[in-house]
Structure formats: structure tokens, C-alpha cells
Structure 1
Amino acid sequence: MKKLLPAALGALLFAALPAAHADTLKMACNISGAMKPFCEHVKQRFEKETPHKLEFVEMPAASDEKLALFQQIFAAKDGNAVDVLSIDVIWVGLLDKHMLDLTDKVKDLEPAFFPNNWKNNIVNGRIKAVPGQVDAGMMYYRKDLLEKYKEQPPKTWEDLTRIATKIQKAERDAGQKNFWGFVFQGKAYEGLSCDVMEWVASYNGGTFVDPAGNVTINNPKAAKALNTAASWVGTIAPKGVMGYQEEESRAVFQNGDALFMRNWPYAYLLTQDATSPVRGKVGVLPIPKGGEDGLHAATLGGWQWGVSTYSKNPDAAVKLVRILSESDTQKRAFMLLGIPPARVDTYQDAEVQAKAPYLAEFKDVFANAVPRPSTPTRSQFPKVSKAMFNAGYDVLSGRATGEQAVADLEDKLKRIKGREWK
């Protein structure tokens, strides 16, 4: 009897304890593609550190299709579809009411991330997502040509314009008739909103709508920025630039037919491909300032990790987000996929620096990145962005001056806002 007592007592004690409840969480991660090793790494970590299982939900590649799918899921308040999702930096305000308030769960992580990226994810004082990867506009340039013509990398748009004019003429005189000084994204779409944002902010013209929701675009510095950009079309930039998106710009630059290019970090590795005509000849700069008293203002991009407010196990979902926010996880994403990490400490990692020495050049760009006014304008940001890029396009095409465009844009944004941003 004495031998049975401890076992019986142990069984009674075990029965008195609450059983660990195991759930299966769903995370948006495209395991059928290049993301597979990263998804599997996260799954292994999560299932080792919690009693739960992790499954993956395939998402469309196109951002607009992904957003439409999330909106369908949220409209149905579907708690079984996805728990943890990756959202574009400009969707935080748009999806606010469908995203779990993470404030008390992740506020300790704030010092680990680039400040502007973290602030972008705060809606009405509440943290709605944690940065997963960071992106920002940057200026690419031909190191060999600046050296050839004894020029230093430009610090201002005025410097860039002068250098581009000089070297474009010299290269054309030397026989390269299709050479241009500068290419960027000039088509009327979200990419032009990003470019316009950089031009205006670099001249201290503000961010169109400030963090408090006030419309601020109608000012002389913003008008000057747009007029300066318009002066490039047909001079140092081809008129065809008004049909360029990211890949059209990259094709011209990577083919060796442009001195400067505004683009995103993804383009760097492509310019260094073994087949690239400009391999080893490309440098990276912050977006130029608007005059000596201006700012280096790159538009913030990237993706954030958030939790659906309809998740049936929000605590486990938050645990997964914290794993995704760790330095080791974001380092793994970079090593496997080349995705620029959102955590600042990863840029000092020896393995990261060995794999990509150029990444150190990006750090200052990311640190100074300027968020688009998506968080304060919330669900109305798509209309705001359309108004932004249409105003920019009107100035580039000569349909309006900068002064006319910012005045008209102020009226449009105030009409979109109404009494308040919704």
C-alpha cells in the first residue's frame, strides 16, 4: 500500500492542475515559395516554446490582393482564418479596428527598432503592430562616373541637378546618346506618392497631413519641391519617366543608361548580379536634402507583424509576434531572403555585415525614414495617396505649377477628411 500511495497522490495532484490548452495558430507566410525556410524556422521556434501548433496561410503576392483578402476576412470576423499577419506599413491606420491592441504586450520592445518605424504603428496612442522588415527610398549612383568627372556624391537636390546635367552632357558627347542624369518613379501610382513625399519633406514642406491629422501641404516649401522635380522632366530625366515604376527605373539604371536612380533597397543586390553591366560600380546615398537647410527624407516602407482582433488565442499569437520581433528571427529573414531587418541591433551583427557590407550604408537611411500620412488618415489613406500622386503628376506633366497643385491638394484633402479622418 505504501508503494501505491505516492503514485496515487501524484495522480491526484496532476488532476488538480489545469491542463495546458493546445491550439493551432495560423500565420500568413508563403511556405510554397522562397519564404519556406523562414516559415519553418519560425514554426520550429514557436512549437518548441509553446504547447501550440503553427500552420501557414498562403497570401497573394500582390499587395492590393493581399489587402483585399484581409478585408474579406475581417468583414466576416473570421477567427479561424488567420491569427498573425504581415501588413504593409501603410495599412496600420486602415486596419486599425481589426488589429489587436498590443500596447501592454510589446511596449518594452520599442528601443530595439527605428523610431519612425515604431511610431508609424501607433494609432490613437495604442500599438497595433511590431516592425518586421524595413524599407525606405534611397538614391543610387554610379561611383565610377562621379570619379571619372571628379565629382563628389550630392548632398542636395541642387547638387544632384548640377552633377546630372554635367555628366549627362559629357556622356552623350562621348557617344552614349541615350544616357540620362536621373531616373525615378513618375507614373501616377503609389510609387509616385512616395517620391513626392520625399521631395516635399526634403524641402521642409511637411508630410501633407501631420500626425495630429491636420492638412499641412499648402506651403511655399512644398510648392518649391514640386517645381524643382518638374524641372528634371525632359532635361536630366526622360519624359518617359512619367510612365516609370520601380522596375522601369531599375532597367535603365542597371543597363548603364543613367547616373542617378531613386529606388528601394531591393534593387541593390540586382545591380550587383553577375550579369549586371553596372556590377561593382554602384553606390548608395540618402535622399538629397532640399537645399542646405533641408532634410534627408526617405519615404518609409516595409512590413509589420500584427494580430487579428478575432484571434481565438490572442496570448499565443502575441507570443508568436514576439518571436518574429527577435533579433535572431529578423537576422534569419535577412540571411535567407535578403529582407532588411527592422531591428537596429542586427546591423551590427558580424554575420550580417559579412554577408552584406552595403547594409551599413542603409542604416542611416532607415533611421531617418519619413512615414506616409497613412496612420492619421486611417481608412481614407487610399484616397489621400491618390490625391498626392495625381497632384505630383500634374506638376511633372506641366498641367499645374507647384503653387497651384498644393492649393488644390489642400482643398481635396480637406474634403476627403470632412469633420475628421475615419
Structure 2
Amino acid sequence: MKLGSFLAGALVTALLSSGAYAANLSIVSGDTGNGREFLRSQLDRFEKETGNKVQIVAMPANSSDQFGQYRLWLAAGNTDIDVYRTDVIWAPQLAEQFLDLTDAFKDVIGQHFPSVIESQTVDGKLVAMPMYTDAPALYYRKDLLEKYKKPVPKTWDEMAATAKEIQDGERAAGNKGMFGYVFQGNAYEGLTCNALEWIKSSGGGQIIETDGTISINNPDAAAAVDRAKGWIDTISPRGALAYTEEESRGVWQTGNSVFMRNWPYAYALGNGPDSAIKGKFDVAPLPAGKEGASSAAALGGWNIAVSKYSKSPEEAIKLVKFLSAPEQQKERAIALSNLPTIKALYDDKEIIAAQPLISNWKPVFETAVPRPSAPTKVKYNEVSSMFWSAVHDTLSGNGTAAENLELLEAKLAELQGGSW
């Protein structure tokens, strides 16, 4: 054997035995623009630290299209994708196709908000680790609350009363287009989030509980949905029945609403140079159903999971550890305003200096509630569609909440069958 071949073989053997084997990994990403460039910069550093190579597989920006492609790849046992970036509700639906990360992350799980870890845990199996999170808050016009000498509302009833008083006062003063509250009332996933918040904060449960029990048909849940029905044509425009996030923000950012329910992305846009409300608003946790009760904000965000078909699972897990670590979450917070899932980062002075809004979200996440994707697994999309349809019918005046939730319970029981 030639000396060169011998040395090369010895080097490969040494690398394998030391765990320094260089793998070719791939991660899917629907990021565009700065988001994808930022991810590439983090992956470049991971490559230098580990000797691995990581390719970004670009995905369409539309999240429904992404999820559809994920299902096709995983159903086919695709070995070309090692790490999947997943919406908070996706990983539980694909749990059987992902590796259990519980043991690999047992020492750091406690650093994260419990609701985030709960949302990614199926039958005791941690199927994804968080990169960053998302949750909505109550946006309020601080200038108008000061003008009318009103505190930030703590309950939904207080919010509605304050919204009506200020709306009427501003209309009388000449702003005929003023409304009290805008939210996402269209029949889509956004309404599932809104209605879950009304119901959970009113003691009505989480639609389907973590043990799989169907809990939606109860008086507290019905009262919460009926309360929201009362907002239509009083403090909210009828058009809100067709609003998504952007329609809500459009009304709010032109100065035509006292309150708005929306996600963190609307904060920076509301303070943009072309915004009519720049410097005039702030955020607070969403109201609760009654005085002293807990607020509830539907959990959003993006996570990372390892395909069980990966040819290099150990190296893929290293990549997940890297991207979910405090250092990388801090970088994302400063550069992209992505909200960390690690509690300690909300007190980080560098993050607060760069992104003051992030500290406002800590109390929001402490009471965040996951949608029931973990207990319902692959049936979650149907569960959500049935739920938002029942709520939308109620808001539109097609039946009472009690009637529609009773029908919903029957449909969910039929969908459940023997088990979720």
C-alpha cells in the first residue's frame, strides 16, 4: 500500500472515531429576502465549526404549499431532506416521520417557554425544537386612552366598553370611520386562533384537551363566542367577518381603530414612516374573560425537526442544536425581531436595546396556549376547519353559539372515531 493512501485512510478512520465526520445536510426554508440571507450566515458558521456542509432547499412562501410538499416528501421516505423547518401546528401532524429529540435536548428543554415545548410534544415524544416563536397581543392607541382617561383593559367586556366609548367620541368629533376593535374574523386558521383565545381565557377549555378529550361544547365556550358576536356592527365592522391579519392592520394603521388583535410583525409596520399612528400605540396581553382570570394568546412560531429518513441523523441533530441555541436565537432577535423561545433572553440587555418591543411580549408568552394539533395529530386541519366554520356561522348570525358548538361536538366525535 502506498504511504499516501495509508495516511488518507488513517485520516478518515480518525475522523470517524472522533465524531468529526463531515456530512452533507439539507434544510428546507420558506424564508425570503433578509430571512434566507440570515439563515445562510448562521449555516456558514455551523459549517466552519463542524466541517459539515448544509444546503438550503428553497420553498414557496405560501405556508400551505410548504406543508403539502412536506407531506409528499415524507410519505415517500425522501432521504434528500435532513431538517425540516415547521410551523408550530405542523410537526405534531408529521410526528411519525420525525425523530424523537427528547433525550438529545433533555438538558435544555427547561430553558424554553413550557407552552412551546408542549406544542411540539406528541405522546411524550418531542418532535421539533423551536427556532423562534410568535403570539398575538392587544394593540391599543395609548393617545386615545389618555385622552379619554381609560386604563388598558384587562377583560373582554372592559375592552368592548372602552372601545365603544372612544369610538363614539371620535365619530362625534368628526372621524366617521373610527371603529373600536378589529380582529381576524374570516373563516380560516386565523379565526381558530382568535376564538381559541376568547374561549380559553373565559374558562372554556382548548377545543380538544391535551388528553384528546373533546371539550368545546360547554357554557363558558358558548358565552365567549356569543360575546364576540356582539362586537359585530357595534365596535367591529361587519367587514371584519372577512378580515385576515392584513385587513385588520390596514384599518388600524390608518388610525381608524382603538384596539387591534394582531401578531408582533404589525408593531414595526405600525411605527413605520408612512404610518398614521407612529408613536401613538403600544401592546399589552390580550384581555381575559373575567377579572382575575388568565389571558390566553394562541401560540405561533417556527421549529426545526429531523427527518427519520435522514442519512446523517446525528449530524442533523447537531444542526438543530445549533439553530435552537441561545446564541442563534439572540442573533435572530436582534437582526430580524424574531421572538425567542428561551425565557432568559427577554432580559438580555443587547436584545432590549436593539428591539425594545421584544420585552413587551414576555408576559404574552407566559400565558400562551397551543392549538390542539398535538392531541389531534394528522386530523388537526379538519378539526380546525370545523371549529372556525362553527364560530364564523355564529358571528355571522347563523345560529347561536350553543347550537353551533353542540353540532361541532358531534362532528368532532365522528372525526375522532376510535382515536385521534
Structure 2 CA distance for aligned equivalents of residues 63 and 17 of structure 1: 43
Unaligned runs of 5+ in 1: 1-6
Deviation of the 1:77 alpha carbon: 0.5
Tell me, what secondary structure is at the counterpart of 1:392?
helix
Counterpart residue number, 2:317: 318
**Paired letter, 2:40:** E
Deviation of the 1:350 alpha carbon: 1.4
Matches within 5 A, 1:18-417: 18-20=14-16, 21-29=21-29, 33-80=33-80, 82-417=81-416
Give aligned-pair identity as a percent: 42
Q: Cα–Cα, structure 1 residues 176 and 319, in superposed 2: closer, same or farther, change >3 Å?
A: same
Deviation of the 1:335 alpha carbon: 2.0
Q: Cα–Cα, structure 1 residues 390 and 302, in superposed 2: closer, same or farther, change >3 Å?
A: same
Structure 2 CA distance for aligned equivalents of residues 299 and 12 of structure 1: 55
Decide which moves more: 97-106 or 140-149: 97-106
Structure 2 CA distance for aligned equivalents of residues 106 and 269 of structure 1: 33
Map Cα deviations across residues 220-279 of structure 1 (whole Å, 9 max, x no partner). Answer: 100100110000000000011001000000000000000000111111010010111000
Tell me, what secondary structure is at the counterpart of 1:108?
coil
Deviation of the 1:112 alpha carbon: 1.3
Structure 1 CA distance for aligned equivalents of residues 30 and 62 of structure 2: 12
Q: Does the CA contact (< 8 Å) of 1:37 and 1:336 recur in 2?
A: no
Map Cα deviations across residues 367-414 of structure 1 (whole Å, 9 max, x no partner). Answer: 210000011000000000001100110110111112112211111111
Counterpart residue number, 1:4: none
Map Cα deviations across residues 184-206 of structure 1 (whole Å, 9 max, x no partner). Answer: 00000000000010010010100
Deviation of the 1:18 alpha carbon: 4.2
**Paired letter, 2:320:** V
Q: Cα–Cα, structure 1 residues 45 and 272, in superposed 2: closer, same or farther, change >3 Å?
A: same
Q: Does the CA contact (< 8 Å) of 2:204 and 2:220 recur in 1?
A: yes
**Paired letter, 1:407:** E
Q: Does the CA contact (< 8 Å) of 2:99 and 2:127 recur in 1?
A: yes
Q: How many residues align?
A: 413
Deviation of the 1:51 alpha carbon: 2.6
Structure 1 CA distance for aligned equivalents of residues 44 and 344 of structure 2: 23
Unaligned runs of 5+ in 2: none
**Paired letter, 1:145:** L
Deviation of the 1:296 alpha carbon: 0.2
Deviation of the 1:31 alpha carbon: 7.3
Structure 2 CA distance for aligned equivalents of residues 411 and 253 of structure 1: 38
**Paired letter, 1:412:** K
Q: Cα–Cα, structure 1 residues 37 and 332, in superposed 2: closer, same or farther, change >3 Å?
A: farther
Q: Does the CA contact (< 8 Å) of 1:347 and 1:359 recur in 2?
A: yes
**Paired letter, 1:33:** G
**Paired letter, 2:385:** K
Deviation of the 1:36 alpha carbon: 3.5
TM-score computed with the length of structure 2 as normaliser = 0.95
Structure 1 CA distance for aligned equivalents of residues 9 and 36 of structure 2: 42
Structure 2 CA distance for aligned equivalents of residues 155 and 31 of structure 1: 36
Structure 1 CA distance for aligned equivalents of residues 40 and 232 of structure 2: 47
Deviation of the 1:138 alpha carbon: 1.1
Tell me, what secondary structure is at the counterpart of 1:226?
helix
**Paired letter, 1:37:** E
Tell me, what secondary structure is at the counterpart of 1:27?
strand
Structure 2 CA distance for aligned equivalents of residues 288 and 206 of structure 1: 16
Map Cα deviations across residues 300-344 of structure 1 (whole Å, 9 max, x no partner). Answer: 111111111110000000000000111110111122222112222
